[in-house]
Chain A
């Protein structure tokens, strides 16, 4: 049988033979596009999740470990939990399609029973339902996608017992419940968030500590400093055995003004979508004047809490106002409401020419 002769030189392969290992499959590209449309300014987090998803879809994930172990660090209000919600929405059409373990609720050793159920011989055995069952884990599985998402929020607040449980999950993708049944997490993506170093990060974002006001650092320098601060805080707090089990540590960036503008656009678009979803064809539209947008950003964002309050400020001032207009019959289907700012700093609502009449006169 003729044998192929071995290559005689170390020349790179010709163009026809070259393969691109960085290319993503179509499903992964759709997934990534979905994340990029909803998450602003956190490219590192998107890339980390997309890579793990690609590995999962290709069936290359290690069989005895979770699909991925991700640690999200960063200042509060930078979108760590939000990214997990967006991943859940992109994959399962529901931003709540994941198991969330709020580690602050498990600061005492005995509280672990709420998670895995009480072991035999202990009070509550057979009565305390475990949160972390295989059924709960597989709840959002579909025919096409057998993947689960688990979020451990604020892991720095976890008790020692929860830490031991977490280490087991990250290493062996396995968990033993109080009734001795086993939960398999090899089809799960594990997200962990932490605010470690939050005080130092806030001080950096606000421009320093003390009574003398400091100038905030330039953007790039600020992000580098925040990354270093977060990583140092994580290494100080978490054991090497924990850090070694992580596939990726992502430090979330503080959002720049133009990124906060995009967050505002997304949030206002969500309000419009809610109106359309709630009332269907007979919906009305609204738009905000630049002064209102600036005011919403001023009220809803700050260096310390990022965009955390923006949603609430929009709800309280825009959504409630629009609902009151509907309640009093001032706005009905087809109307276009423009929201402006009065000289006294309060919001004004005005009905411009109705959308339907404009559309009919245009046609």
Chain B
């Protein structure tokens, strides 16, 4: 079962998203801050990172960079209410208005496409 780390400071959304991903057959682990996410990444292996863009403290982009420094192959999906921007550490952007089913489709795409983590590099 593929393991996904979902990071959002909105705890309700974070847990709901994990619950939905679980019904889709993924092992999704919630983290409500970038610091918590980095700790989880140090502790265990994840196949993919899903993170919110705007978070207090470390933003989603800074988290993506930190994760890619440790695991350059790890695909990163960033959820945002803003316009997507160019960033070498982000595999895919996802507008929050269309989070579902978009997130499920994008995760499926990221985990099935070989080397998709390299696309943005």
B112 within 8 A of A: no
Measured between C-beta atoms, what is the minimum distance from A126 to chain B in Å?
Answer: 26
A327 vs B98: C-alpha distance in the bound complex, in angstroms?
9
Measured between C-beta atoms, what is the minimum distance from A209 to chain B in Å?
Answer: 36
Which bracket fits the contact residues of A? 20 to 34
Measured between C-beta atoms, what is the minimum distance from A94 to chain B in Å?
Answer: 13
Q: Across the interface, which residues of B come within 8 angstroms of A327, CB to CB?
A: 10, 13, 79, 96-97, 99
Question: Residue on B with the closest CB to A280?
Answer: B15
Contact of A332 among B12, B18, B81 (CB under 8 A): B12
CB-based contact B11/A279 at 8 Å: yes
Q: Across the interface, which residues of B come within 8 angstroms of A324, CB to CB?
A: 96-100
A164 within 8 A of B: no
CB-based contact B99/A282 at 8 Å: no
Question: Residue on B with the closest CB to A312?
Answer: B23
Q: Across the interface, which residues of A come within 8 angstroms of B101, CB to CB?
A: 316, 320
B29 within 8 A of A: no
Q: Across the interface, which residues of B come within 8 angstroms of A283, CB to CB?
A: 12
CB-based contact A328/B97 at 8 Å: yes
CB-based contact A323/B23 at 8 Å: no
Q: Across the interface, which residues of B come within 8 angstroms of A315, CB to CB?
A: 20, 23
Measured between C-beta atoms, what is the minimum distance from A67 to chain B in Å?
Answer: 30
Measured between C-beta atoms, what is the minimum distance from B101 to chain A in Å?
Answer: 6
Q: Across the interface, which residues of A come within 8 angstroms of B12, CB to CB?
A: 278-279, 282-283, 326, 332-333
Contact of A326 among B13, B23, B98 (CB under 8 A): B13
Q: Across the interface, which residues of A come within 8 angstroms of B100, CB to CB?
A: 319-321, 323-324
A287 vs B100: C-alpha distance in the bound complex, in angstroms?
20
Question: Residue on B with the closest CB to A322?
Answer: B16
Q: Across the interface, which residues of B come within 8 angstroms of A326, CB to CB?
A: 10, 12-13, 16
CB-based contact B16/A328 at 8 Å: no
Q: Across the interface, which residues of B come within 8 angstroms of A282, CB to CB?
A: 11-12
Q: Across the interface, which residues of B come within 8 angstroms of A277, CB to CB?
A: 19
Measured between C-beta atoms, what is the minimum distance from B14 to chain A in Å?
Answer: 9
CB-based contact B96/A279 at 8 Å: no
Q: Across the interface, which residues of A come within 8 angstroms of B98, CB to CB?
A: 324
Q: Across the interface, which residues of A come within 8 angstroms of B18, CB to CB?
A: 278
A274 within 8 A of B: yes
Q: Across the interface, which residues of A come within 8 angstroms of B17, CB to CB?
A: 323
Chain B residues packing against A (C-beta within 8 Å): 10-13, 15-20, 23, 79, 81, 96-101
Chain A residues packing against B (C-beta within 8 Å): 274-275, 277-279, 282-283, 315-316, 319-324, 326-329, 332-333
A to B CB contacts below 8 Å, 12 in the list = A278-B18, A282-B11, A282-B12, A319-B100, A320-B20, A320-B101, A323-B99, A324-B96, A326-B12, A327-B79, A327-B96, A328-B81
- 10 A-B pairs besides A283-B12, A327-B79 with CB distance below 8 A are A282-B11, A315-B20, A319-B20, A323-B99, A326-B16, A327-B13, A327-B97, A328-B96, A329-B10, A333-B12
